[in-house]
A = this chain, B = another copy of it.
């Protein structure tokens, strides 16, 4: 482990800090019960909605589309995914779809997240470096009690991970060298992109991110820190 000189910890959020799959399923369940003709598994709906996440951001990363905040992409993706479940979005009041889109603002943290962040905050600047937009992160933090020092991430950097600009602009905004910033994430590809930019890296294994029946890949590089939860993370950083 090489933690020397870290001054800020920035966090992937969906999957790393919060359980997006259970939260979206919980929020979507009453909507699906009202609108789907047959029985729909809300977790399968959450997976299908999430599947459109990377392709939508890729339009921005590739330069084919100007930066567009995630709430807008999620809303478009909702219109796209509903027909897969036999629902024509045109038949649903827009206000109801807008409300369902806020499911992503109402995700529960993993049980260890708030306590770990609270410990880390005593010694480090802590902030999300998420692809989620600012108001999404603010709503989530207020509901869940996530004690961020600031809301950073794609909307502030105007670039989606895993574009290098997402990491490098975040370090620049913090007025730090990249090596003074550590990305915390449950995803190897996010950490690999951060490491290429010179950030330090902490892997947190989240076995339940994709549900009880799918085991996520473990660390595939020797990340600077490799832990199983935010209690171990806080301890690794001396807090």
What residues of chain A have their CB less than 8 Å away from a CB belonging to chain B?
Answer: 71, 125, 127, 133-135, 137-138, 141-142, 148-152, 155-156, 173-175
- Closest B-chain residue to A156, C-beta based? B156
CA distance A149 to B141 in the complex (A): 8
- 8 Å CB contact of A135 from B133, B151, B174: B174
Task: Output the least CB separation between A22 and chain B (Å).
Answer: 24
- When chains A and B are docked, how far (Å) is the Cα of A174 from the Cα of B156? 13
> A125 vs B148: C-alpha distance in the bound complex, in angstroms?
13
Tell me if A125 and B138 are in contact (CB < 8 A): yes
Q: Do residues B155 and A173 form an inter-chain contact, with CB atoms below 8 A? A: yes
Alpha-carbon distance A151/B148, docked complex (angstroms): 10
Told that A127-B138, A149-B151 touch, could you supply 4 new A-B pairs with CB distance under 8 A? A138-B174, A151-B151, A155-B173, A156-B156
Q: Which of A71, A173, A175 has the most CB of B within 10 A?
A: A175
Bound-complex Cα distance A198 to B86 (A)? 42
Give A112 to B142 CA distance when docked, in angstroms: 23
Question: Nearest 10 pairs between A and B by C-beta?
Answer: A150-B151, A135-B175, A138-B150, A134-B173, A138-B149, A135-B174, A125-B138, A156-B156, A134-B150, A142-B149
Distance (whole angstroms) from the CB of A130 to the closest CB of chain B: 13
Report the Cα distance A156→B138, complex, angstroms: 14
The interface residues of chain B lying within 8 Å CB-to-CB of A150 are 134, 137-138, 148, 150-151
Q: A127 — which chain B residues lie within 8 A by C-beta?
A: 138
- Chain B nearest CB from A5 CB (Å) reads 16
Alpha-carbon distance between A71 and B172 when the two chains are bound, in angstroms? 12
Give the docked Cα–Cα distance between A175 and B139 (Å).
Answer: 11
| Cβ–Cβ < 8 Å partners of A133 in chain B | 173
Closest to A121 in B: B142
Least CB distance from A225 to B in Å reads 22
Cα(A142)–Cα(B135), bound, Å: 21
